[in-house]
Amino acid sequence: MALDAEHPLNSLGFAKPPAETRVVVAMSGGVDSSVVAAYLADQGYDVVGVTLQLYDHGAALAKKGACCAGIDIHDARRVAAERGFPHYVLDYENIFKDAVIDEFAESYLAGATPVPCIRCNERVKFKDLLETAKDLEADCMATGHYIQRKVGSNGSELHSAEDANRDQSYFLFSTTPEQLDYLRFPLGHLPSKDATREMAAQYGLAVADKPDSQDICFVPDGDYASVIQKLRPGAAEPGQIVHSDGRILGEHNGVIHYTIGQRRGLGIGGLSEPLYVVRLDVDKKQVVVGPKELLVTRTIPVREINWLGDAPFTSQKEWHVSVKVRSTRPPREAIIRPLSDTTAEVELLTPEEGVSPGQACVFYDSDSSRIFGGGWIWRGY
């Protein structure tokens, strides 16, 4: 939007007063989104808070560390009441189950290691909730994610957060250019989480000292296997633990209890070499183990690519970038070779261990904070 002599751009990028700029804030009930809502309300924006009920909160009501427990809805509602803006709770349980939980279960049963938080952002928060924000005639939607949106010569760009320890770019790589145009991330420039908590204290928010969410919201105790068994009864069928050289080493009580790269808890002690889970063969109900070197990967097939570069993805035979193959690892130099608009082969210049199907491969500019999107790691067959 062009600059207006009477109304220069406000802090959200609109050429009108804050009071005439409606912004929907996605409120999880945690300190981050609460600070965003309080900050924008304090700036005079027309704030509307929206909290999504994504999962049955009966069992999780009193549990801390899960982003959508019932107590979090109460906390979000209280912040809105104290700061004087409207707040709505939307029942998205069916949407969440269809778009996130079911795929999580199927992916896990297929031997992958899924990242449901990415799918939730992609299919629920930045899709259905974003459309709801537009239905509410909001000019934009703001979230408490630690990531930056910058406007470049070709439009909106996605950039890493100022605080590398809080950066959430790995979980937001599938954000489309159209969504970026509409989204705002007011916390992305902050130097640390301490700065966010200081803001919460300044605004007198009761959630200022609330612990960060740690677990997937529908797996509040971190026990993936028990959740899968509830969703898919009979999923934990026993089978064999097999060495990569063909030797049968023992029995397991379900492939869903294992992940690629796992070393502890295999139940096959007494061997001279440390063994790791190198492959999960769901069809044969086999957990395949082997030496650490079998975990090393140089070439990664990637699909469902969301490309955020300025030029079309297939306009070059190679893209020299850095990539993350797990959220907890730093970006490593790589070469992306496009196979189509949405598929590619990624070559890691330094091989990585434990690259797992179901994880994301996120593309970073090696020379700046910009994110070029990413895709999903799969087996390549």
Looking at the domain 18-203, which fold is it?
A: Rossmann fold (3.40.50)
340 assigned ligand-binding residue = no
pLDDT of residue 380: 65
Tokens encoding 142: 């703001």
Q: Where are the domains of the chain?
A: 18-203, 236-290, 295-377
Residue type, 204: G
3-state secondary structure of 48: strand
d(CA 76, CA 57): 15
13 assigned ligand-binding residue = no
Catalytic residue numbers read 120, 217
Print burial letters for 199-226: b (CB count within 10 Å at least 16), e (below 16).
bbeebebebbebeebebbbbbbeeebbe
pLDDT of residue 55: 75
Count of beta carbons in the 10 Å neighbourhood of residue 275: 21
- Give the angle 141-145-149 at the CA atoms, nearest 5°: 65
Side-chain half-sphere exposure of 373, counting CA atoms within 13 A: 28
d(CA 343, CA 331): 20
Note the Cα 78 to chain centre separation in Å. 26
Residue type, 363: F
3-state secondary structure of 52: strand
d(CA 163, CA 186): 13
Beta-strand pair 344-353/140-142: unpaired
Tokens encoding 337: 């070779």
52 assigned ligand-binding residue = yes
66 assigned ligand-binding residue = no
Q: What is the pLDDT along the chain (381 residues), one digit of tens a residue?
A: 444 456 789 999 999 999 999 999 999 999 999 999 999 999 999 999 999 988 764 443 344 444 445 788 999 999 999 999 999 999 998 899 999 999 998 888 888 888 999 999 999 999 999 999 999 999 999 999 999 999 999 999 999 999 999 999 999 999 999 999 999 999 999 999 999 999 999 999 999 888 887 667 888 677 788 888 888 877 788 999 999 999 999 999 888 888 888 898 888 877 778 999 998 888 899 999 999 999 999 999 999 999 999 999 999 999 999 999 999 889 999 999 999 999 999 999 999 988 889 999 999 999 999 999 999 999 865
Give the class (CATH, top level) of 236-290. Answer: mainly beta
Tokens encoding 183: 């989204």
CATH no. of 295-377: 2.40.30.10
* Nearest by Cα to 240 from 259, 263, 266, 262: 266
348 assigned ligand-binding residue = no
CB 146 within 8 A of CB 188: yes
180 assigned ligand-binding residue = no
Whether this model's pTM surpasses 0.85:
yes
pLDDT of residue 161: 97
pLDDT of residue 203: 95
What count of residues does the chain have? 381
